[in-house]
Amino acid sequence: MDAVDKLFDGKGWIAVYGAGYVGLALMAVYLRKGLKVIGVDIDPSKLEEIKQGAQNVIEEKIKEAVRMGVEENRLLLTTDGVRASADSIVKVVTVPVYLDWITKDVNYDSWIAAMKDIGEGLKEGDLVIIESSVPPGSTEYKAKPVLEEASRLIAGRDFYLAYSPERVYIGRAVEDIEERYPKVVSGIGEKSLELASKLYEKIARKGVIRVSRPMTAEFEKLAEGVYRDVNIALANELALAAMNLGVDFYEAREAANTQPYSHIHFPGPGVGGYCIPIYPYYLVNSLLERKHVMKLTITGRQINENMPLTIINLLENYRRKIGIPQSSKVALLGVAFRGNVDDTRLSPTHDILGLLKARGYQEIIVHDPYVKHDPILENLHIPLTGSLREALENAEIILILTRHSQYKNLTTTNIKEITGRENPLIIDTTTYIKNNGNYKNIITLGKPHNL
């Protein structure tokens, strides 16, 4: 009986390393399949939050699975990665490889530390699966030697090592894993590939796509992110071009996308989250070592990283034109990097706030219906509120930066009434705000305007 058979027969545990968004979603999926799960993380407060029912998680399926796992004693939580490895027969790694956002240097420290812990507890017949998004070659040339040295076992012979990239959209992760996407699977040797495929075929309704080697699967995952990043950059460039020409980008986009080979994305104030902005640099850095320059990928990154400055320049130009003083209250709607989630990692809103501060704006407030705490806002001493009224009252400059569903109900008339101001400047990067009174002081990214 192999490790996967034992797992589904209730004779072994599966350990998930990393209790972030992806790791917690995987724990939930395994619990929903009746498996016994060990959640591993170096942050005890994160584990305590999970133990208490993961109340801060938006996705109800995750909360329900965690509650069930705790009640049935099928979910153990620990900071001891070596013990978790010794007590489990399958180990799944979601610990991230970090990127220094200033230098763009890759930092493997946390990821390698997890591999060392796993290796020290590794036993013959165990299966290790890496789901972290990583630079190409990481499984074969970084994880494998660390695991082998720590365990004194050989991958593909004594234990089994596979790479299968996570493919989840925050807010619907359980559904993505179980229903929406096939699992891309690779392995060190045929047996590793076979075992990892066997596991995921029991999890993913869309089945498994087997690829020839881990580097191919690593590259595939990064290619997905680069595709999104470059296409968002194109949408941003087209939206700004349309504004310059006095054309409605969204009307043109809708018409263009009726052509089956046109898939123009939505523009926005930038690209956030710890995925799409990061993956291009994993590839770019790896290829630069081989003296190959990914010109389009780099250009796409530059466009998207410049969008916060573009938004600030729009604000400054039209604030001066209208005559609104810089001392006015500025309200930013949305700090999460994407609509209807609470994740603020690398949010463009942070860059916009930094630019506002650098240009001398003092009275700033941020609203978000999902985010309760944000360390960057706290460091900048900028208040965060869940009350839209509190954010908008007396504001003369309003920026809508995140596509939260709550903002879809806002109109220019609503905003004017709540602010109590006659002619506030509204800058909408989401196209959510309805101009129901032919209001002139609104700038919508990608739309012509009368200012």
- What residue ranges do the domains of the chain occupy? 3-212, 301-444
Is 90 exceeded by the pLDDT of residue 315?
Answer: yes
Q: Are 209 and 185 in contact (CB under 8 A)?
A: yes
Residues 350-391 pLDDT 10s: 999 999 999 999 999 999 999 999 999 999 999 999 999 999
Three-state DSSP state, 400: strand
pLDDT at res. 450 = 73
Is 80 exceeded by the pLDDT of residue 55?
Answer: no
pLDDT at res. 8 = 96
pLDDT at res. 304 = 98
On the question of a common fold for 3-212 and 301-444, the answer reads: yes
Residue-averaged pLDDT of the chain:
95
Is 90 exceeded by the pLDDT of residue 257?
Answer: yes
pTM for the whole thing? 0.93
Name the percent of the chain lying above pLDDT 90: 92
Residues 320-348 pLDDT 10s: 999 999 999 999 999 999 999 999 999 99
325's enclosing H/E stretch is: none
Name the percent of the chain lying above pLDDT 70: 100
pLDDT at res. 58 = 72
Three-state DSSP state, 179: helix
Check if CATH label 3.40.50.300 holds for domain 301-444.
no
Q: Once rounded to an integer, what is the mean pLDDT over residues 175-195? A: 96
CA 76 to chain centre: 26
Exposure letters 186-221 (e unless 16+ CB within 10 A, then b): bbbeebbbbbbbbbbeebbeeebbebebbbebbbbb
Residues 99-150 pLDDT 10s: 999 999 999 999 999 999 999 999 999 999 999 999 999 999 999 999 999 9
pLDDT at res. 438 = 84
Catalytic amino acids? 221, 275
pLDDT at res. 255 = 98
Is 90 exceeded by the pLDDT of residue 171?
Answer: no
Which CATH class name applies to 3-212?
alpha beta
Residue type, 67: R
Strand order in the sheet with 329-333: 384-385, 364-367, 329-333, 395-400, 425-428, 442-444
| Token output for 146 | 């660390």
pLDDT at res. 169 = 83
Residues 196-246 pLDDT 10s: 999 999 999 999 999 999 999 999 999 999 999 999 999 999 999 999 999
**Lowest model confidence (mean pLDDT) among 1-5, 54-58, 336-340:** 54-58
Three-state DSSP state, 141: helix
Is 80 exceeded by the pLDDT of residue 53?
Answer: no
Residues 397-414 pLDDT 10s: 999 999 999 999 999 999
